[in-house]
Amino acid sequence: MLGVYKTESGCDAAAKEQHIKGECYPYKSADDQQPAFKF
């Protein structure tokens, strides 16, 4: 992961500027997830 961008177009522009072939995916906050544990 290179960074988190507010818009998909911002992500695409950053990838083009850095000359990389990358994919931009929506960011989903992990605030609603519980940590994994094992007994």
Per-residue pLDDT, averaged over 23-32, amounts to 77
Distances (CA, A) of 15 to 28, 37, 38: 20, 36, 39
pTM above threshold 0.75:
no
Per-residue pLDDT, averaged over 3-9, amounts to 88
What residue type is assigned to position 28 of the chain?
Answer: K
pLDDT band with cut points at 50, 70 and 90 for residue 13: very high
Per-residue pLDDT, averaged over 7-32, amounts to 85
